Amino acid sequence: MATLPAAPLETIEQFGPHLSYPAGARLDTAEEPDRQVKTHCCFCGQQCGIQLKIKDNVVVGFEPWEDFPFNRGMLCPKGVRRYLQGAHPDRLLTAYERDAAAPGGFRPLNYQAAVERVASEINRIQSAHGADAFAVLSGASLTTEKTYLMGKFARMCLRTANIDYNGRLCMVSAGAANKKSFGIDRSANPWSDIPQAEVVLIAGSNVAECSPITTNYVWQARERGAKVIVVDPRITPIARTCDLFLPVKPGRDVALFNGILHLMIEQGWIDQEFIDRYTVGFERVAEHVRQWTPQRTAEVTGVTEKAIRQAAQWWGQAKTSFLLHARGIEHHSHGVQNVLSTINIVLATGRLGREGCGYGTITGQANGQGGREHGQKCDQLPGWRDIDNPEHRAYIAKIWQISPEELPGKGVDAYEIFRKIDRGEIRGLLSICFNPKVSLPDNNFIGRMLDKLDFYVAIDFFLNESARHANVVLPGSLQEEDEGVVTSAEGRVIKINKCVDPPGDAREDWRIIQDIAQALGRQRGFTFDSPRQIFDELRRASAGGVADYSGITYEKVERQMGVFWPCPSEDHPGTPRLFEPGSWNPVAQGNGPFYFADGKARFNVATYAPPAEDVDADYPLLLTTGRVVSHFLSGTQTRRIGPLVDQYPEPRVELHPQLAEQLGIADGDWTTVESRRGACTLRAQVVRTIRPDTVFVPYHWAGLKSINQVTIAAQDPISKIPEYKVCAVRVSRASSPPAYAGVFEPQQ
C-alpha cells in the first residue's frame, strides 16, 4: 500500500529532484514491451499522437507515432517524458481519509467505506442547507465522456446548480468572444491551413514552449515566405524568429488591435464585399476605432507607431493569413474585449473559410476544447446548449428521462464558488481533475476556503495541494488507464486508448462518480458499463446542438485519425474548416456560413479599459504570469517527473537588466515580488527578453513558491476568467532567503 509522505509537506519537491524519479520502477525504454498502444499525450491541447509501450501492465516507454497527421511523430519534452508519471511512488493506490494523528495527515480507507462517507456527507449537507450548498469543480483534462458525466451527475444526481470547471481559468474569454462573433466556439481551421498563409499573427501565445508542435506549422509558413508577427511583452522563443515583434504592455491588446483596424480602414485594406455580404455591425466598430489613431495606440500600448503601421500593412494587404492567440490576450479582466478586437481584424479582411485563411485560439488543456462543450460549465448543457433556453432544457431533460423542471438553472463560476464558501452558502465540495489551491489567483484565500468547507472530497491520482485539504481523497485514473475521446486544438475529435488498468484500489473516474450515485441511492442514469456507452448517450445529447457529435463513432475516429466536429450523421465526414460556403450548419437559415439565424458573423465593438489593478507609486511594476516548456499547469504531474524537474527546477522572476540594475538585483539573487495580496520570494533571472516595466513568473509551483499568492482575483465580467496576466507589484532584493531555501536547492 502507498504510504504518504510525512507532514508537514508544502511541496513535493522538498524531496529533492533525484527522488522525484520513480524509485525502482521499470523505466528502460529499450526494454522489449508486451505491446504498444496508439494514443495521445496526456498534457496539452495539441494532443500529439504517441505510442505507449506496455510491459506487465506498466507503461515503460514510448515510440513516436509517425502516421498521426498532426504531429507526425514529433513530441515536446513533456510528451517524451510523460510515460514516467504512472510509476511514481506518490501514485494514489487507495482512498484516504484526513486524520491529523496519522502520518502525512491522512489514513487509508477502504474504497467502499470512503464512497459511502462521501454519499452520507452529501446527504447531510444538502438536507440541511439545500441542494445548491454542495458544489462540483471538474476539469478539462478529462475525456469528453467524463466531462459529460460530470455535468449530468451534478444536475441530475446532486441536483445542484453549482458546477463549473478549470477551463474557467483557461479558455472562456475566447469561447465567449467566438460565440459572440461566429455563433460557434471552435478554432475555425485545421492547422494545415497555417503553412498556406502569407501572414501569421500570434497574439499572447508562447507557441514554442506551450504549443510546441504548432511552431513547426508556423515555421513551414515562414519557409514559404510568410511574414510572422508576434505580440507579447516578452521575446519568447517564437518571437526570436519572427519578422515583426510588437512588445505590448500587458493588458493593452484591445487598443493595439483597434489601432490596427483603424489603419486598415483608413488605407482601404478591408474586404468591403465580404463585410456587406457576410457580416453585421461593421459601421459601429469602424466608428469606434476612429479614436484609435496610431499616435494614441502607441501611447497606450507601448508599441511604436512604426511597428503598428507595419503590422497593419502586412495584415491588411495579405491575400491569405492566419491569426492565432492564447492566454496572453485572454487572461484579463477585459479578455473578451481583447479577443473580439482580434476577430474584428480577421472579419474585416474576409479571410476565413478558405484554404490558408484562418483563425484559431490555441486550446490549453488536453481536452480544453471537448471539455467546454458538453455541460460541465455552469451555464451550459451538452452540445453547447444553453441552460437558460427552455427548448434546450427540454431536449436534454428528455435524453436524461427527467422533467425540465428537475434540471437546476445556471450556477456560478469556479471562483465565485469560493466566494460562496466564504459566505457560508456552499458547505460541501467535490473536485476532480482540478488543483484550485495552486491554480486560482490570490490563492491564500482559496486555501482558507477549502478549510472552511464542512466536507471536501477530491478525486485525483496524486495528492495534489488542494486534496491535502480534503476530508476524503478518492484514487482516480491516469489518462492511460481509461479510454474515451478528447478534442484537440484544431477541433479534431480523437481517441485516447486504454493502455493499463488502474493499479491497487484506484478506479476509472467515471466508475467513481457512478459509485457515489449508487451510494446516494440515485443510480438511475448512472449505470453505464463503459466509456463507449457514455459516448453513445453524449452523441444523442449533442445532436442538433452547435457542438454536434452525433455522427462521430469510435471506429470512425480511428479510421479517419480524428473527426472534426460538427458531424451530424454517420455518413458525414466532419468539418475540418468552418465557415466554408455551403457547409452544414444547423443554425443558419440565410446564405451565410456563420452560426447565427441569418448566417452572418457579428462585428463587436471592443472597448479598451486598463487592467483592474494598474501600476502606482507603491506598486510600480506589472507582473505577468504563465508557463515554461517543461512543466504543466499546477505541476502536480510534471513536478513528479525527474527529467522535467531537472530541466527547470524552480520558478524564477524574469526581469530586464535595466530594471535589475535599478533595483540592485543580480542574476540568481533572492528576489521578492509583492502585491497587495501577498508576496513570493524566488531567484531572479535577468533577461533581455522582457519589457523593463514588466516581470514574469511561471506558476507551476505550490506553497511558498506559488506566484498565485500574488496575483489578483479580478475577473472578466462576461467570461469570468481571472486576470492572471496583469497586476501591480513591487520588486526588491530579498532581505533574507525564503523559508524553503536550503530545504531543496537545485544544482544551479
Residue 78 interacts with ligand SF4 (CB under 6 A)? yes
Measured at CB, which residue is nearest to ligand SF4?
A: 79
Q: Which three cell numbers stand for residue 352?
A: 476565413
Residue 81 interacts with ligand SF4 (CB under 6 A)? no
Residue 431: enclosing H or E segment and its boundaries? strand 428-432
Nearer CB in complex with Mo ion: 356/371: 371
Nearer CB in complex with ligand SF4: 76/588: 76
d(CA 519, CA 493): 33
Residue 41 binding partner per list ligand SF4, ligand MGD, Mo ion, none, with a CB distance cut-off of 5 to 8 Å that depends on partner kind: ligand SF4
d(CA 91, CA 105): 17
Residue 213 binding partner per list Mo ion, ligand MGD, ligand SF4, none, with a CB distance cut-off of 5 to 8 Å that depends on partner kind: ligand SF4
Q: Within the chain, how many helices (H) and strands (E) appear?
A: 22, 28
CB of 73 to ligand MGD, least distance (A): 19
Residue from 37, 54, 75, 387 touching ligand SF4 (CB under 6 A): that is 75
User: How would DSSP label each residue in 323-356?
Assistant: EEE-HHHHSSTTHHHHHHHHHHHHHHHT--SBTT
CB of 167 to ligand SF4, least distance (A): 17
Select the span of 40-48, 90-98, 192-200, 497-505 touching ligand SF4 (CB under 6 A): 40-48
- Beta-carbon count within 10 A of 37 CB: 19
Residue from 11, 20, 39, 47 touching ligand SF4 (CB under 6 A): that is 47
Assign 35 to helix, strand or coil. strand
Residue 459 binding partner per list Mo ion, ligand MGD, ligand SF4, none, with a CB distance cut-off of 5 to 8 Å that depends on partner kind: ligand MGD
Nearer CB in complex with Mo ion: 227/325: 325
C-alpha dihedral sign at 616, 436, 231, 659: positive
Nearer CB in complex with ligand MGD: 96/579: 96
Residue from 43, 292, 418, 740 touching ligand SF4 (CB under 6 A): that is 43
- Give residue 616's region: left, alpha or beta (phi > 0; psi -120 to 50): beta
CB of 213 to ligand SF4, least distance (A): 5
Nearer CB in complex with ligand MGD: 53/725: 725
Residue 47 binding partner per list Mo ion, ligand MGD, ligand SF4, none, with a CB distance cut-off of 5 to 8 Å that depends on partner kind: ligand SF4
Nearer CB in complex with ligand MGD: 137/286: 137
CB of 325 to Mo ion, least distance (A): 13
Residue from 4, 48, 426, 729 touching ligand SF4 (CB under 6 A): that is 48
Whether the Cβ atoms of residue 424 and residue 133 lie closer than 8 Å to each other: no
Q: Which three cell numbers stand for residue 298?
A: 502607441
Select the span of 361-369, 441-449, 473-481, 490-498 touching Mo ion (CB under 5 A): 361-369
Assign 491 to helix, strand or coil. coil
Select the span of 356-364, 479-487, 560-568, 589-597 touching Mo ion (CB under 5 A): 356-364
Binding site for ligand MGD (CB under 6 A): 44, 139, 141-142, 166, 169-170, 203-206, 209-211, 231-234, 236, 248, 250-251, 253, 326-329, 331, 364-365, 432-436, 439, 459-462, 464, 476-477, 479, 509, 624-627, 629, 631-634, 636-637, 696, 699, 707-708, 711, 724-726
d(CA 336, CA 185): 13
Nearer CB in complex with ligand MGD: 434/564: 434
Residue from 58, 60, 76, 517 touching ligand SF4 (CB under 6 A): that is 76
Which of 578, 577, 533 has the alpha carbon at shortest distance from 554?
Answer: 533
458 phi, psi to nearest 5 deg: -120, 140
Distances (CA, A) of 301 to 80, 247, 296, 311: 39, 8, 9, 14
Whether the Cβ atoms of residue 542 and residue 374 lie closer than 8 Å to each other: yes
Residue 471 binding partner per list Mo ion, ligand SF4, ligand MGD, none, with a CB distance cut-off of 5 to 8 Å that depends on partner kind: none
Residue 244: enclosing H or E segment and its boundaries? strand 244-246
Nearer CB in complex with ligand SF4: 43/696: 43
Residue 79 binding partner per list ligand MGD, Mo ion, ligand SF4, none, with a CB distance cut-off of 5 to 8 Å that depends on partner kind: ligand SF4
- Beta-carbon count within 10 A of 662 CB: 12
Whether the Cβ atoms of residue 206 and residue 626 lie closer than 8 Å to each other: yes
d(CA 184, CA 98): 44
Nearer CB in complex with ligand SF4: 544/643: 643
Nearer CB in complex with ligand MGD: 562/635: 635
CB of 127 to ligand SF4, least distance (A): 44
Nearer CB in complex with ligand MGD: 364/568: 364
Q: Which three cell numbers stand for residue 724?
A: 492572471
CB of 716 to ligand SF4, least distance (A): 26
Q: Which three cell numbers stand for residue 577?
A: 474548416
Nearer CB in complex with ligand MGD: 232/373: 232
Q: Which residues inside 199-238 make contact with ligand SF4, applying CB under 6 A? A: 212-213
- Give residue 47's region: left, alpha or beta (phi > 0; psi -120 to 50): left
The amino acid occupying position 143 is T
Residue from 39, 46, 630, 681 touching ligand SF4 (CB under 6 A): that is 46
Q: Which residues contact 730 (CB under 8 A, 6 or more apart)?
A: 618, 619, 620, 621, 673, 674
Nearer CB in complex with ligand MGD: 434/608: 434
CB of 484 to Mo ion, least distance (A): 20
Length of the chain: 748
Residues in binding contact with Mo ion, number by CB under 5 A = 2
211 phi, psi to nearest 5 deg: -135, 60
Q: Which three cell numbers stand for residue 657?
A: 537588466
Residue 625 binding partner per list ligand MGD, ligand SF4, Mo ion, none, with a CB distance cut-off of 5 to 8 Å that depends on partner kind: ligand MGD
Assign 181 to helix, strand or coil. helix
Residue 48 binding partner per list ligand MGD, ligand SF4, Mo ion, none, with a CB distance cut-off of 5 to 8 Å that depends on partner kind: ligand SF4
Q: Which three cell numbers stand for residue 659?
A: 530594471
Whether the Cβ atoms of residue 294 and residue 263 lie closer than 8 Å to each other: yes
Residue 364 interacts with Mo ion (CB under 5 A)? yes
Burial of 581 (0-12, 13-18, 19+ CB in 10 A): exposed
- Beta-carbon count within 10 A of 347 CB: 28
d(CA 21, CA 490): 34
CB of 366 to ligand SF4, least distance (A): 7
Assign 15 to helix, strand or coil. helix
Instruction: Give the interface with ligand SF4 as residue ranges (CB under 6 A).
Output: 41, 43-44, 46-48, 75-76, 78-79, 212-213
- Contacts with Mo ion by CB under 5 A lie at 170, 364
